[in-house]
Chains A and B, each alone.
Chain A
């Protein structure tokens, strides 16, 4: 082969697909180069919970057969991908980062996996995550933390930290994550890559193990905005198997990413997502990025969204409430762990013992919090009030769309912290999601794109938020910013990371 392993793993998804389509390299060689990379560095990064080498090579061979036979293949055929371990895939375990599902082999493919298979995408394996997607650091995985490729002592964000780290460490050019309160955007920001949460309902939740059903949404990670858009297009679209799936055409996010032009766009800077609690380095990179967007022809104004300050409170009541209901299904009866079934214990005893042994501390904390917020006497004050605040946050977005096309903010208030630093301080941990929560509660699309390095030399991101079903706008702005920043840096931000 004329293309080296290093050239393959550092190539974009678009470049890999072109190399395969033009037969300069086979899909099998591409898969093998990534499997070799995983074998070499994943012992340090721990992005993957399960590597499916045989399955990946088999999928790659199918792509090579198709191209050899002259069959038309899609724009991502043969491109490897890392899949968050919360989406079910036949043939490999799904654990959701939890002991309660350890060893479980799902009996069906999620819609996301079906679409990836149809697109000829090669799934390398399942990535590490905070247990049941509850967390902002991937430290809540029952199988040990993932390390940030920029600094192995730091968190890679979460809950989709394994997916983000895999892409940032060149173990895969593409990854799928899920975002309930920021779990794609926040890890993308702190690992120096791109990550998008599509409009709620744009990507089917069929086969996505539920955490907070009114908020959960799967979405793409990649090292470039265009690659992210291509993956978004591959997984989005109506699915009759998910009754909350939106039955409308998918916005042309790929064309928007190629256009990369913000001339004439009106960009609103959210006043409430700055100030106290935001590190100076984060704020400085954000301000510089906004200046570049202005230089590129956008009109930038400040916008006030007064209810955004209540997003943290609303989210940390709504999400635990829904979680306490959703996780009731882990009852030790039909699948997963069963503890204490000695022939004498009752079903209820077995449930209590299994859930105590199978769930980690954060999951237990949220189940108890959610049970409290939903309990008689407190429902109106907590869950009910949080849902009303959710309406007010939505109204802030809708008011903003009267004067601007998109809203922007830093993706995270701080650089990624050190592993263990906030481990038993839940409120400090929750604040990592401060900027990403409003879009989650509203349901609109949002993306994080690298904005540079903070004062401690770690990556920080800029977030673009858009109206429901206007996903193309986040890609237009992100691509324009990426082009301007790459010009300034002389290449992608990831080139500044120490090589592993």
Chain B
């Protein structure tokens, strides 16, 4: 099993949209190594021909009747939003300036 470096944690944090401090990067790198060592035993299990279980109770293609029902109230939802404007969620800019 590879060792987790500070740079690995920084990469993972970027993927997960988490801003971490230098201290956190170091701390988590050490801890992830310990956790991965603790879970590494599963790699000993010979399971090449074993199908994966994705879900405890196998249910597929569940349908219900397409009945028109009231939706959640827009005002109630916007009232709980960090920012709203003109009946919509207001979000920070999503495109670069250039």
Contacts and interface: CB of A to CB of B under 8 A. Distances in A.
Interface of A: 104-108, 199-201, 214-215, 240, 243-244, 246, 307, 309-310, 312-314, 316-317, 324, 328, 331-338, 341, 345-353, 355-356, 359, 364-365, 367-369, 371-372, 375, 381-382, 384-392, 394, 426-427, 430, 441-443, 468
Interface of B is mostly: loop
Lowest 4 CB-CB distances: which A-B pairs, in order?
A: A443-B56, A387-B52, A338-B82, A313-B39
A443 B93 CA distance: 43
Nearest to B25: A368
Contacts of A246: 57, 59
Contacts of B8: 372
Contacts of A328: 16-17
A333 B82 contact: yes
Contacts of A388: 45, 47, 50-53
Given A313-B38, A389-B47, A384 B18 contact: no
B95 to A, nearest CB: 8
17 contacts: A104-B80, A107-B80, A201-B57, A240-B64, A328-B17, A337-B82, A346-B96, A355-B19, A364-B20, A364-B28, A367-B16, A371-B12, A372-B4, A384-B52, A388-B51, A442-B56, A468-B56
Given A388-B47, A394-B53, A347 B32 contact: no
Nearest to B59: A244
Residue of B45, B53, B73, B93 with most partner-chain A CB within 10 A: B53
Interface in B25-49: 28, 31-32, 34-36, 38-43, 45, 47
Contacts of A468: 56-57
B92 interface: yes
Contacts of B91: 333, 347
Contacts of A356: 18-20
Contacts of B72: 107-108
A335 B82 CA distance: 6
Contacts of B35: 316, 365, 369, 426-427, 430
Contacts of B57: 199-201, 244, 246, 443, 468
A392 B45 CA distance: 10
Interface string B54-88: 11110100101000000011001101111100000
B31 A347 contact: no
Contacts of B39: 312-314, 316-317, 382, 386
Nearest to B61: A243
Given A347-B92, A387-B54, A468-B57, A310 B45 contact: yes
Contacts of B13: 368
A349 B92 contact: yes
Contacts of A392: 45, 47, 50
A394 B43 CA distance: 18
Contact of B89 (A104, A324, A333): A333
A347 B83 CA distance: 13
